[in-house]
Structure 1
Amino acid sequence: MIELSGATKRFSADGTFRFDLTMAEGQSLGVIGASGAGKSTLLQMIAGFLDLDSGTIKLAGQEHTESAPSERPISMVFQSNNLFDHLNVATNVGLGISPRFRQSGEAMERVKDALTQVGLAGFEDRRPANLSGGEAQRVALARALVRDKPILLLDEPFAALGPSMRADFTALLSTMQKERGLTMLTVSHAPNELQGLCERLAFVYDGAIAVIGDTAAMLADPPHPALASYMGVAANRP
């Protein structure tokens, strides 16, 4: 479903980032690493926000190395949730369907269904200023769901949430991913929260994926010294 082969981006100040990655359909992958290691660069490559200097990107079996973001089979939830304060919840969600969304007909039914799925039935007329942090993230997720794309990218979705909201949002994401068969990639600074969400974990180090494997196994027994250092534990392997 996601295949990066030698996907490379060079920055004059930050160096070179090169990624090789294969994700099967319906897989959930967590991505961790220190700030500046390349996590966001990886996400932006897949989403199409960064042009590659070399290498290729295939998504859902199709070549998308040079495709515009809107042409890729991807939905994305940003850390800041990117809601428009002057629009109500229904319209914020409906923008995932069309920039000319109107609150009527089949499109509005899709919005209501998505809000029900994320636990926000009846929130259609509320404004972002009247939402909690967890509710705002759920609205952003609902907007991603109405796009009905097979790949979901999440950039630090827990960063603005308190502990209880993080647990609730993790459970919601896990349910949505399984019910819809989504291929999901989640960037996070909270490795332990990815255990119940992502079956596999990728550790990004020095501009590349240094190691990838089963989430529980990698967190219990870090297979790379830099990963052990990142987690603040002693390395169990050379």
Structure 2
Amino acid sequence: MTNEDEGLRLDSLTVRLGTRRLFAIDRHVAGGETLSVMGPSGSGKSTLFALIAGFLDPAFTAGGNVRLNGRDLTGLPPERRRVGLLFQDALLYPHMSVGGNLLFALPPRLRGRRQRLEAAEAMLAKVGLAGYLGRDPATLSGGQAARVALARTLLAEPEALLLDEPFSRLDADLRSTVRDLVFAMVADRGISAVLVTHDRDDAAAAGGPVIDLAESPE
């Protein structure tokens, strides 16, 4: 893979709804970098995520290409794109323990119960939750649930990460802690990340380029 192939490339990306163009983006998000996307409701932030992740509503018309580490994602189903998502809510499976949630995300190539449990426990330790494997998600605080959601997403070994305002429901102290953890993990693992946020502090913490879809050229 050449340097030109590395990372997430949004090549002349456009999305239209009927005759209305929502946005036009031409960006390269390097591995370990976070691109922050801002803009008012209806400007196309969620639509951009749907396009990258592979579940764009057919009512929209897309142009251009999305490439990830040299792979053209056009036409690939979501499960083959190697794109992870984090949302405002942790969305943990309530009928599973913390460990069950994490084991569910592990790739099939990791075989053997012991090896899979060790991988899950090691990831929990990285997000500051060592020993939480058997916990019920209902007993977790908001910050703990957010960290379990991050651990679950990273265990799936994504090459790109889409962050849909994942810090917005945390109080100020937790927001800073979880936010710093997410961006540190993105940098450490060389993942290309895209953050949607209304908060300029989030964008500043991400430390990468910022685009405003309200300013997308017509």
Residue of structure 2 equivalent to 1:67: 76
Mean Cα displacement is larger for which, 24-33 or 57-66?
Answer: 24-33
Is 1:113 aligned to residue 122 of structure 2?
Answer: yes
Residue of structure 2 equivalent to 1:19: 24
Is 1:32 aligned to residue 28 of structure 2?
Answer: no
What is the CA distance between 1:102 and its match in structure 2?
A: 9.6
- d(CA) in 2 for partners of 1:168, 1:103: 34
Instruction: From the superposition, tell whether residues 168 and 114 of structure 1 become closer, same or farther in structure 2 (CA, over 3 Å).
Output: same
Residue of structure 2 equivalent to 1:154: 163
Gaps of 5+ in 1: 211-238
Instruction: From the superposition, tell whether residues 4 and 197 of structure 1 become closer, same or farther in structure 2 (CA, over 3 Å).
Output: closer
Secondary structure of the 2:105 match is coil
Secondary structure of the 1:67 match is coil
Kindly provide the amino acid, as one letter, of the partner of residue 185 in structure 1.
V
Is 1:48 aligned to residue 54 of structure 2?
Answer: yes
What is the CA distance between 1:103 and its match in structure 2?
A: 9.0
1:6–1:18 CA contact under 8 A, matched in 2: no
Instruction: From the superposition, tell whether residues 31 and 65 of structure 1 become closer, same or farther in structure 2 (CA, over 3 Å).
Output: same
Is 1:173 aligned to residue 179 of structure 2?
Answer: no
1:28–1:184 CA contact under 8 A, matched in 2: yes
Instruction: From the superposition, tell whether residues 16 and 209 of structure 1 become closer, same or farther in structure 2 (CA, over 3 Å).
Output: closer
1:30–1:187 CA contact under 8 A, matched in 2: yes
- d(CA) in 1 for partners of 2:111, 2:41: 40
Deviations 1:12-68 (A, max 9, x none): 5x9433432222222221111111111111111111121654322111111111111
- d(CA) in 2 for partners of 1:94, 1:203: 37
- d(CA) in 2 for partners of 1:168, 1:34: 26
- d(CA) in 2 for partners of 1:103, 1:83: 23
Q: TM-score, normalised by structure 1?
A: 0.79
Kindly provide the amino acid, as one letter, of the partner of residue 89 in structure 1.
V
What is the CA distance between 1:5 and its match in structure 2?
A: 2.6
- d(CA) in 1 for partners of 2:211, 2:103: 33
What is the CA distance between 1:98 and its match in structure 2?
A: 5.0
2:29–2:193 CA contact under 8 A, matched in 1: no
RMSD: 2.4
- d(CA) in 2 for partners of 1:182, 1:58: 14
Gaps of 5+ in 2: 1-6
1:4–1:19 CA contact under 8 A, matched in 2: no
